[in-house]
Amino acid sequence: MTIRHLRIFIEVVDSGKMSAAAEKLFISQPTVSQAIRELEEHYGGLLFERLSKKLYITKKGQKLLSYARNVVKQFDEMEEAMIQDNYVKKIRLGATNTVGECILSGIINALKESNPQTEIYSYVNNTRNIEEKLLKAELDIGIVEGRVKSPDLISIPEVNDFLVLICSTTHPFSKKKTVRLEELKNESFAMREQGSGTRELFEKYMQEKGIPIKIALEGNSSDSIKKAVIENQFLAVISIRQVEKEIKEGKIQVIQNTDSDWNRYFSIVYHKNKVKTYEMMNLIEIIKNYKNIDILNVISTGKLVKN
């Protein structure tokens, strides 16, 4: 078994066909077939089921894939470090949209200060996309507000966060000390896109309580959500960290859930087979500095009650 075998295996998984993998790698299809056959003989089992001319990865194949991407990536990094005199250390950081808007810039600045020779790449998207890139070894580490689903990823809750219901300061709810959960079913909501950890948590909560959500707008940024709340009288559920500015400007009123169902964490996530570098360990220590929230100590809020 060689690195070349693993590269071919990964390309077959990503392409879905041996012919497509051969074309992408500029080799013949028989060469691809032979490499897969040699891997299967080496590990003593099928890596793909071949049904109706289609390939379906097996459990053994999934297990190999969880190692293969990281092994190939680490091999490439070793080659680059050993061969190139001007090799630059790199770290690829993924963050969900909420994290990106709240704390990412401060984290990157602190990481630059402590690792001035390290090249930092950051990628911001929703939880689902960050998870996919971590599994493909396209990112080294992620900070997410949602729950990752793959057993191949390690997720460590590290930074406190919670969701709040928000409305404009001209909305009728802004004058109420308490809002009943039942009242939300008649309101229009601005919601994050599918795949968002914020949306997943809120939808799950409302489903459990039997309250339908009337979605009037879907957006992939907090700015579009907050604008709809302020200008269109929609409601939204959002991280408390994302509305500090609008609260201070008197544009948004916060309604806090009286139970803890909207409490959550921003979690540090990385592949279970990933070798943690010094830069990754340093990043984890930096993230811990953002653990607590103090904005609610200086504002008055309404209360969301079950009934």
Domains of the chain, each with CATH number or no CATH: 3-64 (1.10.10.10), 90-159+264-293 (3.40.190.10), 162-263+296-305 (3.40.190.290)
Predicted confidence at residue 298, as pLDDT, reads 63
Q: Residue 207 and residue 297: Cα distance in Å, rounded?
A: 31
Q: Give the residues across from 201 on adjacent strands.
A: none
Q: What is the pLDDT of residue 307?
A: 72
Cα gap 230→246, rounded to integer Å: 9
Residue 232, both tokens? 């269109």
pTM of the model: 0.74
- Output the pLDDT for position 19: 86
For residue 231, give both structure tokens. 């200008």
Using DSSP's 3-state secondary structure scheme, residue 164 falls into: strand
Whole-Å CA distances, 20 to 7, 8, 253: 14, 11, 54
Torsion of CA 209, 211, 213, 214, to 10 degrees: -170
What is the predicted pLDDT for the residue at 86?
Answer: 65
Mean pLDDT for back-to-back runs of 10 residues, the chain (307 residues)? 88 87 86 88 88 84 89 83 74 93 92 92 94 92 91 92 94 93 94 90 94 93 93 94 89 91 92 88 91 70 86
Name the residue among 231, 266, 235, 210 with its Cα closest to residue 94: 266
Can you tell me the distance from the alpha carbon of 168 to that of 246, in angstroms, rounded to the nearest whole number?
A: 10
